[in-house]
Chains A and B, each alone.
Chain A
Amino acid sequence: MGIQPSRQATNRVVRVSLPADVASDLAKFQRVQKDILGKLGCLACCSGWDIRWDIFNDFNVDKNLKVNAGPLR
């Protein structure tokens, strides 16, 4: 994935193309789809702790761009 120059929009402005998926988070897990753009509707039925904040808080990336998860609370 990278920037794809497409055409000159004006004399000075360059138009480039980026897929919307760039906004998606790193694929931290494998079995459950991490597809942010498919989850723009209502929250699922659940009356308890929302783990997404914990995942965000515990998210870190090492120097080799390896994603590590912190301990769950």
Chain B
Amino acid sequence: MDLPDLGVGFVYLPGLESLSETISRSLDVVEVEPQTFWTHSPPPDGGGVSSFRVNRDRLERPLAMGRPVLVHSIGYPVGGSRDGDPRHRAALKETFSILKPAWWSEHMSFLAAHDSRGPRHIGFLMPPVQSAESARVIAERIRRLQDEFGLPFAFETGVNYLRPIPGELSDGDFWAEIAERANCGILLDLHNVWTNAVNGRQGLAAVADRLPLERVWEIHVAGGQWHKGYWLDSHSGLPPEPVIEAAAALVPRLPALHAILLEIIPDQIDARNITEEEIALCLARLRAIWATRGSALSGGSARGPRPAAAADLPSMEAWEHGLDAALRGEEAGASRLVAQDPGLDIFSDLIAMARRGTLVEALPLSMRYLRRGLGGGGLDTLFGRFWRRAPPEPFMSDEARRFSGFVRSEVSLPHLDEVIDFELAAHRAAMTGAPQYVAFSCAPEPLLMALKHGDPLEIVPCDVEVEVTPPAGKMVPRDGIEPPTP
């Protein structure tokens, strides 16, 4: 595969735009996670098929840095028994046409379980069962995607907090089998593999010894943190020293490495006081490692034959259904295989935290009001009821809208509905570029400002219609797409 050597770069997410531009001298390449820049608005009447909106202005911004851009998809993982939401494909094609990446990548994971009612979103990238069926199905999917997009593809080696299932292929053998069957690249996430090893799965060196190293096109590094005795892939800081050391040891063995990317979550940078200088220093260390790529190649592969997976492993569908059920404390499918695994509790915690994080970010004023009105314990109880009633939504705006409907039916606080209406209208205004209108039966500004600043509520009765004006220059819908009416 004739791919360009792109060098060392940084992930590009909402919230990291300015920082990326500030440190652009330290970057050879940036990697966009496209779905974080897309939006989704269902049809106003609830019918018809909605599409995902690609915001061209926001996606074109990294191109202005004059660096090559890679696309790291996060919402259309390739590790499930069934294809993901087909709407991703059209939006990915549009994204590729804008960013023109040399290759793209996605996760070797699944996001939903399926039953007779359709897909049930789990809210987290989950690991597939490492069986012969999985390797075959996933490899066929990757081949189809490569044919459809006409763009080289690499899958990311995922995090797995579960213990290995007896009879599964090892992590390294599973990924090797898929890469060779699909004739694709590997995005070797060193922090993911190191995290897996710290938590009891196959060690990083053993994984590397089983991989077709000539297929490792890209490396990710990141930081993490502890939780209940598990190391988490939380992208919460700079890479721990063992991950840097692993990169230094492995990169000379990689003949076709084309990029090394540093991943970090924007909120963590300020919360943990990570300076631009520290990020630049880390990138400089990675660049020194990058310079050693392919410098210690061994002659030929010494991997030996791959063992076969056991024939009695659960089917992919049974595994997905069982994992989803076990996360909800139910028995179904292959749930018995993981029900006693403490890693299940880790996944459960992380899913809940992601959902809470989404809601407090998307509905900050409503959530402050709910905590004031219900107390911390009451809010926890409300969350618990909502988690049981509604599966997670992939898009933040959809999760916020669904939670809002639930809150309206469950909680009665003065003018709460109006605060919720206002925040949802703000979402619509941002997504459509069109003003939105909401009614208040009190003066809106004193109420909203009191919630925003933590002041005592000030209620001034009056009838007001609020025109919520779009934020300037943000989230304008792409050309040719009619914004939904409120």
Q: Which residues of A contact B (CB under 8 A)?
A: 2-3, 6, 9, 12-26, 28-57, 60-61, 65, 69, 72
Contact = CB atoms under 8 A, between A and B. Distances in A.
B39 A41 contact: yes
List 8 tightest A-B contacts by C-beta distance, closest first: A48-B234, A52-B357, A29-B270, A48-B232, A50-B357, A20-B426, A42-B35, A37-B430
B448 A44 contact: no
Nearest to A6: B467
Interface string B368-404: 0000000010000000000000000011110000000
Contacts of A33: 14-18, 266
A19 B11 CA distance: 30
A68 to B, nearest CB: 11
A14 B440 CA distance: 10
Contacts of A32: 15-16, 18-19, 266-267, 269-270
A45 B74 contact: yes
| Interface hub of B14, B35, B159, B236 (most chain A Cβ within 10 A) | B14
Contacts of A24: 364
B475 interface: yes
Contacts of A25: 361, 364, 452
A52 to B, nearest CB: 3
Contacts of A72: 271-272
A46 B271 contact: no
B28 to A, nearest CB: 20
| Interface hub of A16, A17, A39 (most chain B Cβ within 10 A) | A39
Contact of A37 (B35, B365, B427): B427
A65 B453 contact: yes
A61 B360 CA distance: 16
B75 interface: yes
B465 interface: yes
B444 interface: yes
B37 A41 contact: yes
A17 B464 CA distance: 10
Contacts of A55: 267, 271, 360
| Interface hub of A9, A21, A25, A48 (most chain B Cβ within 10 A) | A48
A64 B291 CA distance: 52
B463 A13 contact: yes
A18 to B, nearest CB: 5
Contacts of A40: 39, 362, 395-397, 427, 430-431, 475
Contact of A51 (B14, B58, B159, B271): B271
Interface string B390-427: 00001111000000000000000000000000110111
A61 B353 contact: no
A37 B468 CA distance: 13
Given A31-B19, A48-B233, A16 B14 contact: no
Given A16-B464, A16-B467, A50-B354, A41 B395 contact: yes
Interface in B9-49: 11, 13-19, 33, 35-40
A65 B233 CA distance: 35
Contacts of B396: 39-43
A46 B232 CA distance: 9
Contact of A16 (B16, B40, B425, B465): B465
B322 interface: no
22 contacts: A13-B465, A20-B427, A20-B469, A22-B426, A23-B426, A32-B18, A33-B266, A39-B15, A39-B396, A43-B396, A45-B33, A46-B233, A46-B234, A47-B350, A48-B225, A50-B350, A52-B267, A52-B360, A52-B361, A56-B356, A56-B360, A61-B453
Contacts of A69: 271
Contact of A49 (B234, B397, B425): B234
Contacts of B276: 31
Nearest to A19: B469
A39 B362 CA distance: 8
Contact of A20 (B13, B159, B430): B430
Contacts of B107: 45
B227 A49 contact: yes
Interface string B451-486: 011100000001111111111001100000000000
Nearest to B220: A45
B426 to A, nearest CB: 4
Contacts of B362: 36, 39-40
